[in-house]
Amino acid sequence: MFRRGLRFHKGKLLIFVGSFLIALYGISAAFYGKVVAKDEAYKELSVFMDVLKRVNDDYVEAPNMDSVQEGAMRGLVDALDPYCSFLSKEQYEALKQRKASGSAGVGIVLSKRSDVIYVVSCERDGAASEADIRPGDYLLAVNDKDVENQSVLEVDSLLHGAVGTKVKLTLFRNSRTTPLEIEMAMKNPIANPVESKMLDGNVGLLDVSSLSDASVEQVKVRLKTLISAGAKKLVLDLRDCADGSPQNGADLANYFMNSGVIYFSQNRQGEKVQVVEASADKHITDLPLAVLIDGSTAGGAEITAGALKDHERATVVGEKSFGVGSAQKMIQLKSGALLILSTAKFCTPNGKVIQDETASKTGIVPDVQAPDDDTRQDLIVESYYDEQEEAAKYRQLKDKIEKIQLDKALESLSKEKAPAKKAA
C-alpha cells in the first residue's frame, strides 16, 4: 500500500506531464513577454501536440485521449505547490456534493510533503486526535481508496460530512514498518478552541488551537478578561494551530500591535499585491508577550507569529512552523472543470516568504529554539526505552516537549521589566 502511495504519477503519463509542463511554460512566458518569444512558445506547444499524436497512433492499447489529457493537466498542477488543484467536471461536482453533506469532520489539517498527503495538525479533542492520529502521519487511503493522485482539496472533502459518518483512514507513520488502519466517526468542530488561565507571576496564558472567525472573537474576550484579572505579561500559545485565514491571523496580531505592517502578499514578479497594516482601533494591549509555535503551527497563526517577531513585539519560542502562506484563485473552465492556482505568497513585514518550496527556508523560525536538538534527541531515546504502550509514550514525549517550550517562554518573559514597546 505504501509503495502505491509513493508512486506519484503513473509511468505512462510521465511523458505527457513533462511535455505539457514545457508547453505551458513556453505559452505563459510568451504571454507575459518575460522569457521566450512567441515563436518559441509555439515550438514547445508543437512538442506536446506531437506526443499526443504519437500516443494516439502508436500506444499499445487504444488510449482514452480525454483521460490522457486530464492526467497531463493534473500532473502539471501537481508539479506546482500543494494547494494548486485540477478537478475534472465530474470530480468538481462530486466535491460540491460532499461539501453539501455536512460540516462535521475528523479534525485534521492536511498538506503535502514529497507529493504525499501529510497531516499538519490535529484538532484538540477532535475525532482524529482521539483515534491517535498524529501530526507527521502520511495519509495513503480513505475508505480503502488510494488518495495518491488526489489534491489536498479533494482529500479534505472526503474527511467532512454529516455528524457520525464513519470513515477509515490508512496511514503511514515513520515509527512503524507497516501502515495503520484507523476508523472513526466525524464530529462537529469544538465549540471553544481558545483556552486561557493565569500562571504564577501574573502571567496570562492564551491557548489558541484554531483561528476560525469565531475563535478570533473568543481570543479578544479572553484576552481582556486576563488583563482585567491582573495579568502583567502574556503567553500566546499557537502550537498545533494550523487553520484560519490570513485576515484572522492579522486580526490576532493586531490585538498586540497598534501600527505597522502585519503582512503583505507578492506576485511572481516580486511586486506587492496587498499590504495589511495594523489598525489602532483593534489594538488591545502592549503587555510583554511570548509566542509559542511548533511544526504544526501553520496558516493564519504564521501570519501572527511572523508579524510579532519582525516588529520585536514578542519573543517567539519553540520550533520552526510548517510554512503555509499563499493565496489561491479558483478558475472555472469552459469544460466545467475547476482549476485552482496559487497567485500570490504571503510575507512577514521584513519580507520573509512564509511558504517556500525549499524545506529549510519555509516557515517561521523562532527566536528561541526549544527544545534544542540535543535535548530533543535525548527525549526521543528516553521514550524509546519506556515500557508504556506506544500511544502513551507519544503523549508523554509531547507533554515533556511542550513543558520545555512553555518554561522557555516564561524565562524570556522574566527578563521583561516594563511594557513592550509598540510596533513601529
Which tens digit of pLDDT belongs to each residue from 206-257? 999 999 888 999 999 999 999 999 999 999 999 999 999 999 999 999 999 9
How many separate domains does the chain show? 3
Last residue of a domain, one of 131, 157, 185: 185
Show the low-confidence residues of the chain (pLDDT under 50): 1-38, 418, 420-424
CB atoms under 10 Å from CB of 219, counted, come to 23
Q: How far is CA 144 from the centre of its chain?
A: 25
Residues 94 and 48 in one domain: no
> Hey, what amino acid is at 163?
V
The bridge status of strand 203-208 relative to strand 233-237 is parallel
Q: Which three cell numbers stand for residue 67?
A: 483521460
Residues 371 and 323 in one domain: yes
Q: What is the pTM of this model?
A: 0.84
State residue 310's pLDDT score: 98
222 and 313 share a domain?
yes
- Answer whether residue 338 is part of any domain: no
CA triple 201-250-209, angle to 5 deg? 55
Residue 423 lies in a domain: no
Same domain for 17 and 73: yes
Report the candidate in 264, 274, 199 with the shortest Cα–Cα distance to residue 237: 199
On whether both 253 and 118 belong to a single domain, the answer is: no
CB-based contacts of 319: which residues, under 8 Å, 6+ apart?
Answer: 293, 294, 295, 366, 369, 370, 405
Q: Are residues 71 and 114 in the same domain?
A: no
Largest CA distance in the chain: 78
Residue among 298, 303, 345, 350 nearest 324 (CA): 298
Residue 1 lies in a domain: no
CATH code, 122:
2.30.42.10
pLDDT for 419: 56
Question: Whole domain around residue 18: which residue ranges?
Answer: 7-79
- For residues 355 and 379, state if they share a domain: yes
- Same domain as 209, residue 275: yes
Residue 248 covered by a domain: yes
List Cβ neighbours of 305 (8 Å cut-off, separation of 6 or more): 238, 291, 293, 297, 316, 321, 364
Q: Are residues 200 and 284 in the same domain?
A: yes
pLDDT at 42: 58
**Structural domain contains residue 332:** no
299 is a domain residue:
yes
Same domain as 320, residue 285: yes
Would you say residue 233 lies in a domain? yes
Domain end call among 131, 156, 185: 185
Cα(419)–Cα(133) distance, rounded to whole angstroms?
Answer: 41
Last residue of a domain, one of 26, 59, 79: 79
Q: Looking at the structure, do residues 135 and 204 belong to the same domain, yes or no?
A: no
Task: Tell me what pLDDT residue 70 has.
Answer: 74
Q: How far is CA 383 from CA 173, 386, 392, 393, in A?
A: 16, 5, 10, 6
Question: What's the length of the chain?
Answer: 424
Same domain, 175 and 233: no
β-strand pairing of 180-185 with 233-237: unpaired
Query: Do the domain assignments include residue 2?
Result: no
CA–CA gap between residue 272 and residue 369 (Å, rounded): 31
Are the CB atoms for 164 and 101 separated by under 8 Å? no
